[in-house]
Amino acid sequence: MKLTLTILFLTIFSIGTLDASVKPRTKVKITQNTVSSLIEGLNSENLGLKSSSAYMIGELQLSKAVIPLMKILHEDKSDEMRIAAALALYKIGTPIAIYAVKQSIKFDDSERVSKLCANFYSEYQRIKFNDEEINEDTVKTAVK
């Protein structure tokens, strides 16, 4: 019994300590050289470099890469690369990027790519719809 209580206490104490030691992520300055390198990576013949460049562009939300990503989404022969481009466009989230993902639902020859684009687009719509509900409620409360 005493051992169980000691383990429970140590577990709770260590969880509390972990939460206190977590530091917020700092914003990283993205240089033009980084953007250029990532866009150049999209033009590589190396599938690994190409897909990881698309991933990082999406994570960094680099809107300058929307056109090259759209080209990959519409023209690349690899389903995996088209999916990576669609995911990056979804993460960037500009209207033209989301529109490209939406169009791929209808026009991509691969059922897999179309289905994943539909998932990305529906997630975008779900997030957008929830945000609008919150904004409407805030406005209604402020008017009262």
Helix 66-75, helix 79-92: angle, nearest 10: 150
Q: Given this model, what pLDDT does residue 8 score? A: 42
Q: Given this model, what pLDDT does residue 23 score? A: 47
Count CA atoms closer than 13 A to 32's CA, side-chain side: 0
Q: Given this model, what pLDDT does residue 58 score? A: 97
Q: Which tokens is 21 given?
A: 């030691």
Q: Is the pLDDT of residue 16 over 70?
A: no
Residues 119-131, mean pLDDT to the nearest whole number = 88
What is the CATH number that goes with domain 32-143? 1.25.10.10
Degrees, nearest 5: CA angle 52-92-103: 95
pTM: 0.72
Cα gap 142→144, rounded to integer Å: 6
Q: Is the pLDDT of residue 142 over 50?
A: no
Q: Is the pLDDT of residue 7 over 70?
A: no
Q: For the ranges 32-36, 87-91, 138-142, which has the lowest average pLDDT?
A: 138-142
Residues 86-97, mean pLDDT to the nearest whole number = 97
Domain ranges of the chain: 32-143
Q: Which tokens is 28 given?
A: 């990283």
pLDDT tens-place string over residues 26-74: 577 889 999 999 999 999 999 999 999 999 999 999 999 999 999 999 9
Q: Which tokens is 83 given?
A: 């999916």
Cα gap 136→142, rounded to integer Å: 10
Q: Given this model, what pLDDT does residue 132 score? A: 54
